[in-house]
Amino acid sequence: MKKLITTCLLAVSLSATAQTHVLDVNTKKIGAPVQSTMYGLFFEDINYAADGGLYGELVKNRSFEFPDRLMGWEAFGTFEVKDDGPFERCPHYVELRDPGHGERRSGLSNNGFFGIGLKQGEAYRFTVWAKAPQGEAQIAVQFIERATMEENQEFVTDTLTIASGDWKPYELTLKSPRTIDKAQLRIYLVGKKTVDLEHVSLFPVNTFKNRKNGMRADLAQALADVHPGLLRFPGGCIVEGVDLGTRYQWKNTIGPVENRPLNENRWEYTFPYRFYPDYFQSYGLGFFEFFQLSEDIGAEPLPVLNVGMACQFQNWDDENAHVPMDQLQPYIQDCLDLIEFANGPADSQWGKIRAEMGHPEPFNMKFIGVGNEQWDDMYYKRLEPFVAAIRAKYPDIKIVGTSGPDSEGKMFEKGWAAMKQQKADLVDEHFYRPEAWFLGTDEAKARYGNNCGGLRYESYDRKGPKVFAGEYACHGRGKKWNHYEASILEAGFMTDFERNADVVYMTAYAPLFAHVEGWQWRPDLIWFDNNRMFKSVSYYVQQMYAQNKGTNMMPLTMDKQPVAGQAGQDGLFASSVYDKNTGEIIVKVINTSKQKHPVTLNLLGIKGERTAQTITLCHDGMDDENTLDQPEKITPKQGTLQCEAGQKNTVLNDELAPMSFRLYKIKK
């Protein structure tokens, strides 16, 4: 074996004489297609993923609609919160009046989400709806830093003239001379004349794709960089709400942002030990933006709608918490109208709104999820009329049902049986499980049954609905946070998706985003603060799969068995695919054991020497993770390896470091 470049430092082996494992890749057998929806992303507004995260808005409570109207703001001088503003569904605004002495000031400061992050040299667009009922007036708009040792708190100030007595939008651009994580936006009255302010907003000019109501550029780019096949939105449990009144309602999230009503965010209080009383959904990142984002990042959109049920975890078997069967029609109509919103002609009732929002062409939505993580008869019976109505009007739309929160067991089986009976196209499975489950150890099988770990999908019925592994992550036992070991186990488990591409059509790690100061749930794929972000090791695992998913299955075996960490396989997991577009054989091998292993890849069906491109994820510290300060501590490294001309076929000899993931690409 000639190793041209090795990029992974091999950790000390516990065994000097490990057996060489021979993996046969049958390059002649090009199998079932890998779906273009592999591998996907799941977005939910949890951990401040939307407001305060991906959504570029920097002002919290911009419309003064939080139940405490001035939450997020500090108001000073003479002011009043009024409720007869120009936007019917967001009627509150603030009036600033002369405080009665030349040196006094009336105004407002906004704290943003854990402060306002500004970057040196970047421009920020301040917009406001305002009126000056006593005639032309002025406001000052400033960036300030309170906790500063500098002479001046304010470091940028501009003034805005409010010319009209009628409500009108105003705009100015401020440039920040420095990078600061926790600035404030301050606005105050200049002169004596009253000013009314509504929908006070601040966005970076540089949003993703430069959209005005846009996404934070670095976070959206990180999504695009996965090359995701799918974007599921808007959740998760927020689809359901703790009660029906707080469920996610997509119709409230479209049209002018100024008139989108506020909703509670159930993650505000779900975990009392991570309580964020200021966590709401502005719906600024709404369904139009989700569809547009899907398009921008090249992902198939998968909206999920409420099935007439509030979150079952909060309401268990209380039938009364859910919509009575004879009152489901508005919920069903929401699904039908959504399809028209996404795909209907620009002159249809809902397609017209999409066109007015700037997208006359259809979004070409193909999938709809009905219900998030529901279980039992309460769900199955409600789903039925949804399926009937969608099939009748839109027979081409694929319906995604759910098998509930468990990845196995009675209720899971019951869910699958119901989905089969109702002919759902896909079933959304969720599994947040410990290490042993991902490895499929005997201990895990004793606890969870045979369906865990490396050979989960081999036994699935090929004739029934397809699988959407819609939420999953390795939650280390006693280590429920991001760490290297968990990511490697996820990588091993994911070979099963690849081996079973004829039944696993969609997948998504969960959750996607977390603000370091505002999280409720760990682990997550991408972490950020107000100015920085880092991609977790799990992110890189997802990316390695998504960018190298190939177009077709290709069989890979060891002693004629699938390589899935089974007895005698020394913790190895492996799968292979073929990419028709590039002519590459792509092999993924994961060593989940704590010792190095020599391996030989037998590339049956091809001959002669070749060069293999490799991508390797390898690290010594099992509890380590990337951080804001060291965002690239653990990243995949590119390399090459020489394949030999074996007697019968091309052969690649390699040695896999303990707890590592290596991907090989060889031209056929």
| Residues labelled catalytic | 373
The residue within the footprint of ligand AHR, chosen from 471, 498, 570, 654 (CB under 6 A), is 471
Considering the complex, state which of residue 235 and residue 453 has its C-beta at the smaller distance from ligand AHR: 235
Smallest separation, CB 165 to ligand AHR (Å)? 46
The residue within the footprint of ligand AHR, chosen from 236, 241, 286, 415 (CB under 6 A), is 236
Ordered DSSP codes for 303-341: EEE--S---HHHHTT-GGGS--GGG-HHHHHHHHHHHHH
CA separation for the pair 475, 139 (Å, rounded)? 51
Dihedral (CA of 231, 234, 237, 239) sign: negative
Q: Which residues partner with 123 through β-bridges?
A: 175
Considering the complex, state which of residue 289 and residue 471 has its C-beta at the smaller distance from ligand AHR: 471
What residues between 329 and 388 interact with ligand AHR by CB under 6 A? 372-373
Smallest separation, CB 491 to ligand AHR (Å)? 20
- In contact, 520 and 46? CB cutoff 8 Å: yes
Considering the complex, state which of residue 131 and residue 430 has its C-beta at the smaller distance from ligand AHR: 430
The residue within the footprint of ligand AHR, chosen from 53, 72, 235, 453 (CB under 6 A), is 235
**CA dihedral in degrees (477, 481, 487, 488; nearest 10)?**
-40
Q: Which residue type occupies 645? A: A
Considering the complex, state which of residue 237 and residue 469 has its C-beta at the smaller distance from ligand AHR: 237
CA dist list (Å): 485 to 36, 412, 607, 622: 28, 28, 36, 5
- In contact, 142 and 156? CB cutoff 8 Å: yes
Among residues 40, 26, 39, the alpha carbon closest in space to that of 549 is found at 39
Dihedral (CA of 254, 259, 263, 265) sign: positive
Looking up tokens 């090249």 gives 298
In the shown chain, the binding pattern of residues 125 to 164 toward ligand AHR, with x for contact by CB under 6 A and - for none, equals: ----------------------------------------
What residues between 96 and 125 interact with ligand AHR by CB under 6 A? none
What residues between 502 and 531 interact with ligand AHR by CB under 6 A? 510-511, 521
Considering the complex, state which of residue 207 and residue 374 has its C-beta at the smaller distance from ligand AHR: 374
Q: Which residues partner with 507 through β-bridges?
A: 469
Stretch that binds ligand AHR, among 190-198, 231-239, 291-299, 496-504 (CB under 6 A): 231-239
Q: Does 237 bind ligand AHR (CB under 6 A)?
A: yes
**Phi, then psi, of 665 in degrees rounded to 5:** -125, 120
Stretch that binds ligand AHR, among 233-241, 289-297, 338-346, 378-386 (CB under 6 A): 233-241
- In contact, 465 and 424? CB cutoff 8 Å: yes
41, containing H or E segment: strand 40-42
Pair of tokens at residue 286: 């709404």
Residue whose C-beta lies closest to ligand AHR:
236
Considering the complex, state which of residue 359 and residue 479 has its C-beta at the smaller distance from ligand AHR: 479
Stretch that binds ligand AHR, among 127-135, 157-165, 234-242, 646-654 (CB under 6 A): 234-242
Stretch that binds ligand AHR, among 138-146, 232-240, 476-484, 611-619 (CB under 6 A): 232-240
Stretch that binds ligand AHR, among 230-238, 243-251, 461-469, 597-605 (CB under 6 A): 230-238
Local structure of residue 504 (DSSP, 8 states): E
Count residues contacting ligand AHR (CB under 6 A)?
A: 13
Q: Which residues partner with 564 through β-bridges?
A: 573
CA separation for the pair 523, 458 (Å, rounded)? 28
CA separation for the pair 240, 187 (Å, rounded)? 38
Smallest separation, CB 437 to ligand AHR (Å)? 16
Residues lying near ligand AHR in the complex (CB under 6 A): 44, 46, 235-237, 372-373, 405, 430, 471, 510-511, 521
